[in-house]
């Protein structure tokens, strides 16, 4: 069993890389990839612990981009962590995330929810602030009871305190990952909040710039959407990947290995990167 999508405390997960490896071993995961948002800071620790545990470890990342003010997430696998140009580019993305956080806090203030940057930073164990960290403070201050309520009322796409990820073009992300030598996968395309036709256009646009596949093995995926995307992937020769998108306590009901994804998925992905 494999899991190629999970988050640690270096982005918006609640387990450290070492704890993720420990949980993966408990869940009989044979291949794992840590895919933190916009940074690779937890990969060294993750790989070290995975090697001790006898788990195949893939250096991964989930890069946040946007298209027409909607979030697009792109996964990269088998990263070259010695690529200084790529690492510098990631640092710039993290600065954009920081500025976005400030804008979200301003919007919340206008809604009567006063949260300081220092309070949010206290929720962050790694180097990247995400919406879940802000959501925790909203709950602590009594403006919502659950994470789902926070996103439904304040932080989800189109909600009063939502700020899109400005300035990170999805095509640029694919090109940067390909230049790094990574395999590039469109994360959970069934969750993209555009029309079906627009999602197809997005896929075709990214294929022209090097997209390798789609993430379709995913917890609780809508069967109708999955079947439609499977046809698109087959027609265009895209590979398929998957994972739990595990965030620890930040996503209730999801555990490592959710979806029971076979080893064959990893072998096909590895074969793709070996050919390139």
pLDDT band at 127 (very low <50, low <70, confident <90, very high): low
The 10 Å Cβ neighbour count of residue 220 is 9
Helix (H) or strand (E) holding 240: strand 239-242
* Bridge partners of residue 70, in order along the sequence: 67
The predicted-structure confidence for 159-191, as pLDDT tens digits, reads as follows: 999 987 666 899 999 999 999 999 999 999 998
Whether residue 42 contacts residue 10, with contact meaning beta carbons closer than 8 Å, is answered with: yes
Find the radius of gyration of the CA atoms of the chain.
18
C-alpha 159: how far from its chain's center? 21
pTM metric for this prediction:
0.85
Is the pLDDT assigned to residue 31 strictly greater than 70? yes
Domains of the chain: 2-82+169-275 (3.20.20.140), 92-155 (1.10.150)
Whether residue 271 contacts residue 37, with contact meaning beta carbons closer than 8 Å, is answered with: no
Mean pLDDT of 101-122: 93
Contacts by 226-233 with C-beta closer than 8 Å and gap 24+?
226/190, 228/196, 229/189, 229/190, 232/200, 232/203
- 204 by DSSP, 3-state: which? helix
Whether residue 189 contacts residue 199, with contact meaning beta carbons closer than 8 Å, is answered with: yes
């Amino acid at each position: 069993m494999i899991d190629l999508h999970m988050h640690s405390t270096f982005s918006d997960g609640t387990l450290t890389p070492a704890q993720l490896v420990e949980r993966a071993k408990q869940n009989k995961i044979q291949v794992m990839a840590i895919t933190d948002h916009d940074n690779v800071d937890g990969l060294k620790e993750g790989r070290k612990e995975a090697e001790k545990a006898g788990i195949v470890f893939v250096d991964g990342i989930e890069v946040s981009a946007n298209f027409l003010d909607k979030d697009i997430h792109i996964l990269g696998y088998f990263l070259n962590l010695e690529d200084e140009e790529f690492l510098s580019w990631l640092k710039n993305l993290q600065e954009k995330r920081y500025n976005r956080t400030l804008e979200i806090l301003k919007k919340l203030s206008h809604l009567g929810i006063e949260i300081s940057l220092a309070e949010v930073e206290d929720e962050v164990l790694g180097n990247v602030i995400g919406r879940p960290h802000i959501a925790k403070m909203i709950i602590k201050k009594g403006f919502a009871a659950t994470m789902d309520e926070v996103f439904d009322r304040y932080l989800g796409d189109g909600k009063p305190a939502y700020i899109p990820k400005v300035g990170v073009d999805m095509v640029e992300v694919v090109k940067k990952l390909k230049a790094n030598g990574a395999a590039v996968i469109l994360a959970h395309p069934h969750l993209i909040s555009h029309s079906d036709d627009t999602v197809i256009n997005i896929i075709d646009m990214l294929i022209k710039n090097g997209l390798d596949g789609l993430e379709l093995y995913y917890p609780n995926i809508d069967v109708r959407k999955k079947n439609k995307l499977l046809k698109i992937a087959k027609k265009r020769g895209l590979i398929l990947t998957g994972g739990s998108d595990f965030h620890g306590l930040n996503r209730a009901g999801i555990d490592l290995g959710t979806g029971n994804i076979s080893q064959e998925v990893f072998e096909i992905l590895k074969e793709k990167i070996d050919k390139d």
